[in-house]
Chain A
Amino acid sequence: MLNQADTHAGYLDPILIRHRHNANDLLQILIAAQDHYGYIHSDAIDHLSGQLGLPRSKIEGVSGFYSFLHLQASGEYRVLFSDNITDRMLGNMDLMQSLCSQLWVEPGKVSEDGLLSINTTSCTGLCDQGPALLVNNIAINRLTQERVNAIGELIRERLPVSAWPAMFFAIEDNIRRRDVLLGSHPKPGSALAALLQQGAAETLQQIKISKLRGRGGAGFSTGSKWELCRDAPGEQHYVVCNADEGEPGTFKDRVLLNSYADRVFEGMTLCARIIGATRGFLYLRGEYRYLLEHLQAVLQHRRQQNLLGDAILGQADFNFDIEIHLGAGAYICGEESALIESLEGKRGTPRNRPPFPVTHGYLNQPTVVNNVETFAATCLICLQGGAWYAGIGTETSSGTKILSVSGDCERPGLYEYPFGVTVSQVLSDCGAKDTQAVQISGPSGVCIAPDEFNRRIAFEDLPTAGAFMVFDRSRDMFEVARNFVHFFKHESCGFCTPCRVGTSLLSNMMDKLSHGHGSPYDFAEIEKLNVLLQSTSHCGLGHSACNPVLDTIARFRPAYDKRLAHKEFVPAFDLDRALSQARQMTGRDDTGAHLERSHE
């Protein structure tokens, strides 16, 4: 019998050759392999296993971790509705239901003819132009009933996604306020030329003087990070740009990569020169796959201009190039050590730290991992000096910050401000009215009420990776928190007990309140879970998973009180709801198929 794997060699071998049969590129190989059938065929795993020298269990284990990789047929058209709270507020659930009815398919299942599947996915970073969806991993924005009807028709006609109307894929930048970063347009290569003129040591000194801190949210000093990495012994040093912008409500990196990619790559190249790296990676979240061709073209252009590759700008000892690695639907890979695991082709489980990536990163070598915005900012510092940059913003938060504003406001989009701007200033600029709450820095950040709108965006007050979601008084803050809790449950990597089980327990508790079975007992349980997750979780995801609930309980108690139907504990179990499966199977929904419910 012919080895079944041979039939897969045809499309797999070119992929394997492109990746030099390097098992560290497993995730990239799997993403490319999936394009052939829309899922990873079981026989294809045999071929990959043989060619890469990896056990099948490892390949399946990696595939099973990432939401966008499938080991079973998932339809020729895989439609994923973005399910951030901002998409919900714009009616994504009704639109999804409408597409499901139109195409006779249940959410989460593959249609009987194998044509399509429809499901939800975590925030796709289009909150300023939602509701959004991904079809075969390509983003479509501004969904309306008309657009959804058209999509249904296109799928029914089996038109390839590449032939769908271009207007569906017209993603906008929506830059509303420019400051030093978004407002300047230095010539590509000018920062590199400045670096070569002043020397790597002096450039690092300027970055330290600038007091630039990481824009991913944690705020570690960029200069110190580069210096620690430069000084760490290793055979190779690596530069990694974290473009796994997964925090719901954040979309600034999408715009930076779309319209300022040269700046980002130039920042990475500066870093490479300073720390002595010859290889860099941009880890691009799978949701932004539509940017890949554009980014590859920018890289290619930079190589042609001698801004990348061998002997950059004629310096014989200045060799550096950048590869783009794609993510595949895993928020946790935004955590730097999980990102490195993913770059190495593994499951995206955060590592035990210390050691930190600056000494033990990619392939255990010294590695700088910085946010997209951080790299872009280093170009400005290189050109205009550290003191100039340090003069912008506040004493401990220098420079500017790009906010991704979405939710209830007239002008959602990007707003760049010097650090120290008040929340109320941002609200006034974006045209927010009757605002009830702002979620700063996404679900893992903080939710603030109007009496705190005089607080400032800065590391010393409200640190943020950029998300700024606005909720007016018509919104139910309980549902906001419940959406975030479901997000954490979906994105927990599952490595440690407290986060893996705790996020599910928390999600169940919020559902229990939503179903009207809540009592003060459940509040105490949530508090208890929070303490446990804070103190015992393996990484930041678990540490912050309870934040949305605690913040909203503290500030929007009435939203919870109206769900506390009981003074004393009642179980979450509801016999009538438990019978829903039986009702569905028998096709009955008459009174006889329901229990008599005393509280109705």
Chain B
Amino acid sequence: MSQSNTFTLDGKTIPYSEGQTIIQAAMAAGEYIPHLCFNPEFKPHGSCKLCTVKANGRQTASCTQHPAPDMVVESDTKEINDERRTLLQMLFVEGNHFCPSCEKSGNCQLQATAYQLNMMSPHFDQFFPDRPLDASHPDYLLDFNRCILCSLCVRASRDVDGKNVFALSGRGIKSHLIVNAKSGRLADTNFSGDDKAAHVCPVGVILKKRVGFAIPIGSRSFDEQPISATPHPQGACPVGPRSNAATLPPHPTVKDA
């Protein structure tokens, strides 16, 4: 019974099964709805709001909204894409995102989604928050400047790794990522490069050390094809073929960088 259920996404008929949300059904049918905090491997969260669609005329996050039979879902419209672009601009000005010097450039879902939606400028005044780096861990670097608070690392560490290395603290515009250590430093947690949490960041916060720019800018995931044509975004794929971190052999561990 549940298999026969369908809804329409921008006029196309999309089948869905019981329990699927709109974006899950759309992705299964090969349709792209922009998203950042959603990752098919994790329970939907619904915070970035990039995946907002109009379902039967009412705007809602497609990652948490379940479809109903014959629901009319609009996604790729000027109105919704304009709003998504503004949400992206908000994320860009809220943190410190300098794509040209960022190691994640070309593999970054925020950047790729901005290209996808033709974001030409950040539009709003930059907030320029003061967010120190954490380079304490021998193998990984945390650059909080790029955090978009999607909480994928929080969910991965808690639900997959069973470690709770990451958490969100603060409130409102002061919300920020913290790590599970009295010192506040990643080196003092039980974080490991083998953790799922090490590989889910859609932007450039959690970076492996000593492999920077191993694949030149221009030859990276989203340089080759837009995010809408990339079935498994780089961030969702721990050591996938396009992950630049995976192309080099593991580097011997060195003490505190």
Chain B residue numbers with a CB within 8 Å of A46 are 182
Identify the closest chain B residue to A347 (Cβ): B168
Q: Which residues of B contact A109 (CB under 8 A)?
A: none
Q: Provide the residues of chain A in CB contact with B173, threshold 8 Å.
A: 489, 492, 494, 500-501, 503-504
Known: A57-B179, A535-B52. A498 touches B171 (CB 8 A): no
Q: Which residues of chain B have C-beta atoms less than 8 A from A61's C-beta?
A: 167-169, 178
Contact (Cβ within 8 A) A532 B87 = yes
**Pairwise interchain contact A55-B167, C-beta atoms closer than 8 A:** yes
- Which A496-542 residues have a C-beta within 8 angstroms of B? 496-498, 500-505, 508, 528, 531-532, 535-538
Check A56 against B182 for contact (C-beta < 8 Å): yes
List chain A residues, Cβ under 8 A from B182. Answer: 42, 45-46, 56
Q: Is the CB–CB distance between B125 and A493 below 8 Å?
A: no
Q: Are B90 and A536 in contact (CB under 8 A)?
A: no
Q: How far is the CB of A51 from chain B (nearest CB, A)?
A: 16
* Binding-face segment, B42-50, B137-145, B228-236, B240-248: B42-50
Instruction: Report Cα–Cα, A181/B169, bound state, in Å.
Output: 42
Complex: how many Å from CA A495 to CA B172?
A: 7
- A170 to B52: give the CA distance in the assembly, Å: 50
Asked if residues A494 and B167 are in contact (CB atoms below 8 Å), the reply is no
Decide yes or no whether B91 CB sits under 8 A from chain A: yes
A residues less than 8 Å from B50 (CB atoms): 497
Find out whether the CB atom of B94 lies under 8 angstroms from the CB atom of A58.
Answer: no
Query: Is A330 located at the chain interface by the 8 A CB criterion?
Result: yes
Contacts of A56 in B (CB 8 A): 180-182
Chain A, 1-43, CB within 8 A of any chain B CB: 42
Query: Is A494 in contact with B90, judged by CB distance below 8 angstroms?
Result: no
B83 and A532 form a contact (CB under 8 A): yes
Of residues 30 through 83 on chain A, the ones whose CB sits less than 8 Å from some CB of chain B are 42, 45-46, 55-58, 60-61, 63-67
A64 touches B170 (CB 8 A): yes
Report B80 CB to chain A, min CB distance, Å.
9
Contact B164 A57 (CB under 8 A): yes
Q: In the complex, which residues of chain A have a beta carbon less than 8 angstroms from the beta carbon of B47?
A: 495-497, 538
**A65 in contact with B46 given A46-B182, A528-B86 (CB within 8 Å):** no
Contacts of B68 in A (CB 8 A): none
Given contacts A57-B165, A60-B178, A501-B94, contact A535 B170 (CB under 8 A): no
Q: Mark A173-217, 1 if CB is under 8 A from B, else 0.
A: 000000000000000000000000000000000000000000000
- In chain A, what residue has the closest Cβ to B175? A494
The reply to whether B171 and A65 contact each other, CB–CB distance below 8 Å, is yes
Please tell me which one of the listed residues B93, B172, B179 contacts residue A494 in the complex, with CB atoms under 8 A apart: B172
B59 touches A (CB below 8 Å):
yes
Most buried by A among B59, B125, B149, B167: B167
Q: What's the least CB distance linking A394 to chain B, in Å?
A: 29
Chain A residues with CB below 8 A from B59, complex form: 535-536
The complex places the Cα of A501 from the Cα of B86 at a distance, in Å, of 11
Interface residues of A in 457-501 (CB under 8 A from B): 489-498, 500-501
Q: Is A502 a contact partner of B90 (Cβ separation < 8 A)?
A: yes
In Å, the complex CA distance between A89 and B172 comes to: 27
CA distance A519 to B127 in the complex (A): 21
B172: chain A residues within 8 A (beta carbon)? 489-494, 500, 503-504
Check A538 against B181 for contact (C-beta < 8 Å).
no
What residues on B are CB-neighbors of A502 within 8 Å?
90
* Binary B-proximity of A551-577 (CB < 8 A = 1, otherwise 0): 000000000000000000001110000
Of B49, B93, B164, B169, which one neighbours A496 at CB under 8 angstroms? B49
How many A residues, CB 8 Å from partner?
44
CA distance A218 to B167 in the complex (A): 33
- When the two chains form their complex, are residues B90 and A501 in contact, meaning their CB atoms are under 8 A apart? yes
B208-235 contacts to A, CB under 8 A, are: none
A491 to B50, CA, bound (A): 22
Query: When the two chains form their complex, are residues B169 and A64 in contact, meaning their CB atoms are under 8 A apart?
Result: yes
- Give the complex CA separation of A528 and B123 in angstroms: 13
Q: Which B164-196 residues have C-beta < 8 A from chain A? A: 164-175, 178-182
Contact yes or no, B171 A55, CB < 8 A: no
Interface residues of B in 69-117 (CB under 8 A from A): 83, 86-87, 90-91, 93-94
- A315 located at the interface, meaning its Cβ lies under 8 Å from any Cβ of chain B in the complex: no
A352 interface residue, CB < 8 Å from B? yes
B17 vs chain A, min Cβ distance (A): 19
Q: Give complex CA distance A438, B179 in Å.
A: 46
In the bound complex, residues from chain B placing their C-beta under 8 Å from that of A494 are: 149, 168, 170-175
Q: With a CB–CB cut-off of 8 A, which chain A residues contact B166?
A: 57
The minimal Cβ–Cβ distance linking B235 to chain A, given in whole angstroms, is 17
CB atoms of B175 and A57 under 8 A apart: no
User: Complex formed: what's the CA distance from A46 to B182 in Å?
Assistant: 8
What A residues does B61 contact at CB under 8 A? 352, 538
Cβ contact within 8 Å between B170 and A536? no
Contact B46 A538 (CB under 8 A): yes
Among the listed A63, A501, A505, A573, which residue makes an inter-chain contact with B169, where contact means beta carbons less than 8 Å apart?
A: A63
| The one of A57, A492, A505, A531 that contacts B167, using a Cβ cutoff of 8 Å | A57
Question: Which A residues touch B127, using CB under 8 A?
Answer: 504
Question: Which residues of A lie under 8 Å from residue B94 when comparing CB positions?
Answer: 500-501, 504
The answer to whether B64 touches A352 (Cβ under 8 A) is: yes
Check A57–B171 contact: CB distance below 8 A: no
A493 touches B167 (CB 8 A): no
Contact partner, A536, options B87, B178, B180, Cβ 8 Å: B87
In whole angstroms, how far apart are the Cα atoms of A535 and B54 in the complex?
10
Q: Which of B87, B168, B180 is in CB contact (< 8 Å) with A55?
A: B180
* Cα distance, A175 to B47, chains bound together (Å): 43
Contact B91 A501 (CB under 8 A): yes
Interface residues of A in 76-128 (CB under 8 A from B): none
Residue contact A330 to B171, C-beta cutoff 8 Å: yes
Q: Which residue of B lies closest to A54 (CB)?
A: B164
Q: Are B168 and A538 in contact (CB under 8 A)?
A: no
Contact check, B83 vs A536: say whether CB atoms are below 8 A apart.
yes
Chain A residues contacting B124 (CB-CB under 8 Å) are 505
Which chain B positions have C-beta within 8 A of A497?
47-50, 87, 90-91, 148
Q: What residue of chain A has the Cβ atom nearest to residue B37's Cβ? A: A497
Residues of B within 8 A of A57 (CB): 164-167, 178-180
A536 B167 Cβ-Cβ under 8 A: no
Binding site for B on A (CB under 8 A): 42, 45-46, 55-58, 60-61, 63-67, 330, 347, 352, 489-498, 500-505, 508, 528, 531-532, 535-538, 571-573
- With A55-B167, A538-B47, A538-B61 already in contact, 4 other A-B pairs whose C-beta atoms are closer than 8 Å: A496-B48, A497-B49, A497-B87, A505-B90
The 10 A-B pairs with the shortest beta carbon distances in the complex, nearest first, are A64-B169, A494-B175, A57-B167, A55-B164, A501-B90, A57-B180, A61-B167, A492-B172, A535-B59, A494-B172
24 A-B residue contacts at CB 8 Å?
A: A55-B167, A55-B180, A56-B182, A57-B164, A57-B180, A58-B167, A64-B170, A65-B171, A489-B173, A492-B171, A493-B171, A493-B172, A494-B168, A494-B175, A495-B47, A497-B49, A497-B91, A498-B49, A501-B94, A504-B173, A536-B59, A538-B46, A538-B47, A572-B125
